[in-house]
A = this chain, B = another copy of it.
Amino acid sequence: MSMSPPDALNYERFQQLQMRLDMSRGKPAPEQLDLSRALLDDAAAAGFRARDGFDCRNYGLLLGLPEARELGGELLGVPPAQVVAAGNSSLELMHDALAFALLHGVPQGESGERSAPWRAQGDIAFLCPAPGYDRHFAICEALGVRMIAVPMRADGPDMDVVEALVREDASIKGMWCMPLYSNPTGAIYADDVVRRLASMPAAAPDFRLFWDDAYRFHHLTDTAHATLDVIAASAAAGQADRVLMFASLSKVTIAGGALAWFAASPRNVAWWQRCTSVRTIGPDKLNQLRHVRYVRDRATLDALMARHRALLAPKFAAVDEVFRRRLGQASGVRWNEPEGGYFISLYGPDGTARRTVELAGEAGLVLTPAGAAFPYGVDPLDSHLRIAPSFPSLDEVRLAAEGIAVSLLRVLETDQALAT
């Protein structure tokens, strides 16, 4: 079967192709994973001795290998003592941070005393800029934390709304933030947004920003955007303990086998250490050592990310090209051109997203469920679709974009026919 889109593809022809493609998740393509082949090939050469001779095979180093914490510090712009190098998943760290807060409370005030366990403080809530990352919302839902959606804009969450809520409502204990190339809208938090988040008064004295810097290195254009240093900004605003930062190398080296970092104030790191010291005798330091010797520094990482971009940018461009051609004239349809990250957000007229996903699914193309980017999986306008073009081949992406377009167009035609 040729993967080139047939001329004048319509929904019926698309359906006949039965392409059997899953575009629901932001997974790196095999070609991207191949970029770090040396990580596997040179594993033996990396050995097991840390810089200071420590035997990385044995137990110990709860907060991670010192050189892995230093690499994290360099990449995140945080002093290494405030960085924890952990396992293969930043999502785990976010889940555990919330679980620890529920079970143990978090540091509060200059003394570092813990607040009451969040679980014991009655109904608690998180602010959720929406559209946002479905796995953030799934953590809140599973752990019984009420979610309050706040509008997401191109420069970050609507800060007037955020400030008003956080100032008034002491049940709001935290907020999810993806500052750069936010999943799935590609939003880039403006400096002023970061400053306001770092300094806004909060009714809850133990309020926390869960700062998921997942796409910090993942540029798709020549402009390497960077957001304001939120840990420094919060410290400068007298809110040193406000930020819990998370990041990983999952979409830099090996998606399922990289390393993740937690970064925060010294008091938060001490809290993390106390909470995790009963849980583990240390992370996989051999994998940390391999990564330190492979990724090395910011310049090496940037060169690697340029190779990722060379594979990813054409896929994003292909989606944009198809959407312009097929959907450019469609009333009420828009999408973004992200400058980084892993997703494109496509918006149809209200009430069209769910049916578009259904139609695509019936033709063999699995999209992220409509509503997934909203708390409780409910998009109040039923308008938003998350497109994840990273994993399929370029030809598949092009055909999938055609398929999404004809599925949405079919929904629009149906509605128009009913209206006339």
Contacts and interface: CB of A to CB of B under 8 A. Distances in A.
Interface string A102-145: 11100000000000000100000000000000010011011110
A77 interface: no
Nearest to A26: B59
Interface in A24-77: 25, 27-28, 30, 33, 40-44, 47-48, 55-60
A58 B280 contact: no
A278 B96 CA distance: 11
Contact of A104 (B58, B142, B285): B142
A287 interface: yes
Q: Which of A89, A135, A282 has the most CB of B within 10 A?
A: A89
Contact of A48 (B40, B135, B281): B40
Interface stretch (A253-261, A318-326, A408-416): A253-261
A139 B274 CA distance: 11
A95 B92 CA distance: 14
A159 interface: no
A287 B56 contact: no
Contacts of A285: 256-257
Contacts of A282: 256
A275 B99 CA distance: 12
Contact of A256 (B42, B275, B277, B281): B281
Chain A residues touching B, range = 35 or more
A182 interface: no
A49 to B, nearest CB: 11
Contacts of A139: 278-279
A190 interface: no
Interface in A260-291: 275, 277-287
A88 interface: yes
Given A44-B41, A103-B103, A278-B95, A287 B58 contact: no
A138 B62 CA distance: 15
A286 B363 CA distance: 34
Contacts of A102: 103
Contacts of A119: 103, 119
A280 B91 contact: yes
A179 interface: no
Contacts of A59: 25, 27, 250, 255-256
A250 B286 CA distance: 13
A92 B27 contact: no
A249 to B, nearest CB: 12
Given A44-B40, A99-B99, A142 B255 contact: no
Contacts of A91: 279-281
Contacts of A364: none
Given A87-B88, A99-B99, A56 B256 contact: yes
B279 A257 contact: no
Interface string A208-233: 00000000000000000000000000
B89 A57 contact: no
Interface of A: 25, 27-28, 30, 33, 40-44, 47-48, 55-60, 87-89, 91-92, 95-96, 99, 102-104, 119, 135, 138-139, 141-144, 250, 254-257, 275, 277-287
15 contacts: A27-B59, A33-B57, A40-B47, A41-B44, A56-B256, A59-B256, A103-B144, A138-B278, A141-B278, A142-B275, A254-B286, A256-B281, A256-B286, A284-B284, A284-B287
Given A59-B250, A138-B278, 19 more contacts: A28-B58, A33-B57, A40-B47, A40-B286, A56-B256, A56-B257, A57-B255, A88-B284, A91-B280, A95-B278, A95-B279, A103-B143, A119-B119, A138-B277, A139-B279, A141-B278, A256-B282, A257-B285, A284-B284
